[in-house]
């Protein structure tokens, strides 16, 4: 292939020609152009791989399939399970895209489905979650608890109506975690299917992470000298930044601590009344562990991230989800209750 040439660039040139009146039409109508990882709904990954060789990453995404393909896969018995990713659209400090939690949940779901292909499909993600405590940061969105749970339940119920007997919710946002865990037992009884919900972070222990993540090692060794630094690692810091650097580098911005400090950010006071309505229920927590130093500690720890660390995190989390799904499908096939 000629140096500097790529099929994607060629297709984009066709799209430009189409805009100028060419009979070739737009590149966006081409299946090959649609393989871009930023296709609707903008949070799937172009990473691929399966236990049996290469599988195009879109083949496990429900929203990229046709009704004929889904129908035939279900009728053949090849398609047995569905994953429902849940996340959020919320601030992830100065350097990560707001879609981070929804993107990472979809990434782990997609990677697990590829390894179990053709048995598993990934349903359209829930891109907004329960995040009222982040509303002081511009761009964050939040749902009421009941709205979030109603959405997820309706998606699950739709899947069961089509014959999916095994459904796993894969969550990427901490604010959704307890809500899902509390709701699943009732949903399971109501729907009569093999159903569960996990957050991909459940696939790690702090001890495992400490073997290659600096912030976790420093925490276990007692080297983090403030409460802010000790509690910063779970959000927008070394862990999540590494994952995005590996899978979605275009959703990571490089921000120095000098740039951060120059911004003069304040998330502890002078909030508009409407924002305060969201924040007030969390005031006790904010008093114990103030927002401003914790926000800066996250930015500080994010500088420790690397793509290689992200690849290890993705592999570990994917194995956890694959194992859970395999055991769930076995339970369904054997007619055993879950869990």
Identify the three-state secondary structure at position 83.
strand
Residue-wise pLDDT tens digits, 108-132? 999 999 999 999 999 999 999 999 9
Residue-wise pLDDT tens digits, 173-231? 999 999 999 999 999 999 999 999 999 999 999 999 999 999 999 999 999 999 999 99
What is the average per-residue pLDDT within 84-101?
98
Residue-wise pLDDT tens digits, 230-288? 999 989 999 999 999 999 999 999 999 999 999 999 999 899 999 999 999 998 888 88
Residue from 195, 36, 185 nearest 123 by CA: 195
pLDDT at 52: 57
We find that the CATH architecture of domain 38-334 is 3-Layer(aba) Sandwich (3.40)
What is the average per-residue pLDDT within 284-304?
93
Residue-wise pLDDT tens digits, 28-52? 333 333 334 443 344 666 665 555 5
pTM, rounded to two decimals: 0.86
Cα-trace Rg, the chain: 21
| Cβ atoms of residues 87 and 108 within 8 Å | no
Place of tokens 């949903």: 187
pLDDT at 54: 84
């Amino acid at each position: 292939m000629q140096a500097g040439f790529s099929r994607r660039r060629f297709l984009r040139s066709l799209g430009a020609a189409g805009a100028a009146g060419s009979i070739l039409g737009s590149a966006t109508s081409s299946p090959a152009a649609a393989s871009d990882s930023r296709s609707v709904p903008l949070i799937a990954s172009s990473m691929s791989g399966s236990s049996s060789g290469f599988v195009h990453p879109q083949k496990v995404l429900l929203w990229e399939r046709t009704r004929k393909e889904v129908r035939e896969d279900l009728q053949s018995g090849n398609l047995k399970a569905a994953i429902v990713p849940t996340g959020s659209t919320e601030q992830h400090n100065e350097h990560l895209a707001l879609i981070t939690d929804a993107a990472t949940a979809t990434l782990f779901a997609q990677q697990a489905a590829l390894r179990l292909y053709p048995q598993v499909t990934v349903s359209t993600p829930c891109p907004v979650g329960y995040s009222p405590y982040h509303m002081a940061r511009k761009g964050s969105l939040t749902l009421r608890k009941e709205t979030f749970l109603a959405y997820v339940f309706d998606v699950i119920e739709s899947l069961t109506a089509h014959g999916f007997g095994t459904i796993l919710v894969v969550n990427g946002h901490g604010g959704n975690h307890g809500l899902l865990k509390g709701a699943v037992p009732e949903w399971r009884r109501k729907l009569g299917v093999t159903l569960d919900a996990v957050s991909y972070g459940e696939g790690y222990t702090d001890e495992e992470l400490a073997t290659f993540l600096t912030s976790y090692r420093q925490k276990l060794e007692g080297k983090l000298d403030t409460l802010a630094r000790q509690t910063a690692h779970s959000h927008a810091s070394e862990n999540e930044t590494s994952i995005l650097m590996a899978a979605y580098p275009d959703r990571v911005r490089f921000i120095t601590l000098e740039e951060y400090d120059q911004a003069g950010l304040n998330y502890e006071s002078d909030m508009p009344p409407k924002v305060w309505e969201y924040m007030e229920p969390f005031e006790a927590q904010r008093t114990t562990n103030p927002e401003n130093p914790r926000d800066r500690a996250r930015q500080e720890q994010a500088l420790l991230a690397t793509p290689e660390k992200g690849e290890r995190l993705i592999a570990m989390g994917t194995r956890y989800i694959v194992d859970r799904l395999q055991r769930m499908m076995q339970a369904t096939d054997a007619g055993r209750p879950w869990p």
